[in-house]
Amino acid sequence: MIFLDAAATTPVRREVLEAMWPYLTGEFGNPSSHHSLGDAAATALAGARAATAKALGCRAGEIVFTSGGTEADNLAIKGIALARRAADPRLDRVAISAVEHPAVEESARYLERVHGFAVDVIPVDRFGQVTEEALAAVLGPGTALVSVMYANNEVGTVQPIARLAALARAQGIPFHTDAVQAAGWLPLDTGALGVDALSISGHKLGAPKGSGALFVRGRIRIEPLVHGGGQERGRRSGTENVAGAVALATALTLARETASLPASVPAPDPASNPAPDSAPDPARRVAALRDGFIAAVLAGVPGAVLTGHPTERLPSVASFCFPGTSGESVLLELERQGVVCSSGSACAAGSDAPSPVLLALGIEPEVAQTAVRFSFDSTITAAELQEAAAAVRTAVAGVRALRPN
């Protein structure tokens, strides 16, 4: 089987499993316990926090461990907006991009429905990018928070986060980014990005499902969502997932060796996203393989359309529409040929409504329904992608042949 669905999830890396294993077995203590087992767990948690902070270029106290990307996004959006409005009742608007993951979108809608906030949706261009002009147009004196994702989970488009964050912060508005898909591929230095909050998820990086973290800049107040024993400095109660935190920190540390800008991004622009600290790197290798795969699919499948940005995209994502098919049928056909991928985002699986992300890019609903996403991890090979491109040609031709005109 060729697994081309790494944006949905990844297997746990061996090094990660080995690092977390002791905290699931012999060193199983509760970090709050006052005995040697508890102390060992507390020390492991502190080490994981320090390593996570190092990977994100922040202080250990600015890391809140969560149960994953969804919880990190919820905590950022609800927690920051509610705390800011409590301090100043005029701050009753949140601005989010039109292509956010449901974890951000639904958190904003919850604030609207239950707490009377207004939600300003920042439109994207046809490649899925938020421009500075589009962001500037929605910001106002009532904006409590801006959230724009770093890289999109369906089409892989990378946003100019450093420039967008600078714009919001110049107006004193905190800026959150969902970096769940970017982690492992793009630089995550929160200082260079200039963001106030950033979400990551372990299972996209080779750590287990149910691990994640939110970076929140020290001066930003946050209203907790989960109340209890006051763990995570009162920002997220509940006995800490020590093994999960160790796993996340290990996966992030390993991923730092991979992270860089996509190969197609030209010279590093200091005003844009921060430059990679070193090359050569697996991200460039994977980006080159991705470009070869994209070229092979576009050349081999008549009418195929690449979705998302042609160059400012994750090294690990190639997404297409295949007009005259249905994404689900192509997916099934591909699986029969041994290629596993996704017809939209896994998070929206089960719904056959066209993806709101693709609609936001201006793609017609009947074309959006033909979307297929291929996503890889850093172990992908040229031979696998060649075989996958051939399977795509056959699958699309097969599905088209079966459909009435």
Burial 135-167 (b: 16+ CB within 10 A, else e): beebbeebbbbbbbbbbbbbbbbbbbbbbbbbb
| Lookup: tokens for 333 | 């056909």
Q: Taking CB under 6 A as the rule, does residue 103 contact ligand PLP?
A: yes
Strand partners of residue 147: 96, 176
Q: Are 185 and 283 in contact (CB under 8 A)?
A: yes
CB of 266 to ligand PLP, least distance (A): 25
- From residue 160, how far is each of 132, 135, 174, 398 by CA, in Å? 9, 11, 16, 39
Q: How many residues bind ligand PLP (CB under 6 A)?
A: 15
17 binds ligand PLP (CB under 6 A): no
The position carrying tokens 């990660």 is 16
CB of 161 to ligand PLP, least distance (A): 13
188 binds ligand PLP (CB under 6 A): no
Interacting span for ligand PLP (CB under 6 A) from 67-75, 156-164, 252-260, 361-369: 67-75
Q: Per CB under 6 A, which region of 122-130, 140-148, 174-182, 356-364 contacts ligand PLP?
A: 174-182
Q: Which pair of structure tokens corresponds to residue 400?
A: 């088209």
Return the half-sphere exposure (C-beta side, CA atoms, 13 A cut-off) of residue 38. 7
Q: Which residues are catalytic?
A: 347
Residue 208 interacts with ligand PLP (CB under 6 A)? Answer: no
Q: Is 134 in the site for ligand PLP (CB under 6 A)?
A: no
Residue 212 as a binder of ligand PLP (CB under 6 A): the answer is: yes
Interacting residues of 332 by C-beta distance below 8 A, sequence separation 6+: none
Give the nearest distance from C-beta 138 to ligand PLP in angstroms: 21
Query: Residue 68 interacts with ligand PLP (CB under 6 A)?
Result: yes
CA distance 147 to 276: 23
Among 74, 181, 355, 378, binds ligand PLP (CB under 6 A): 181
Q: Closest approach of Cβ 205 to ligand PLP, in Å?
A: 10
* Binding footprint of ligand PLP on the chain (CB under 6 A): 68-70, 73, 101, 103, 149, 153, 178, 180-181, 201, 203, 212, 347
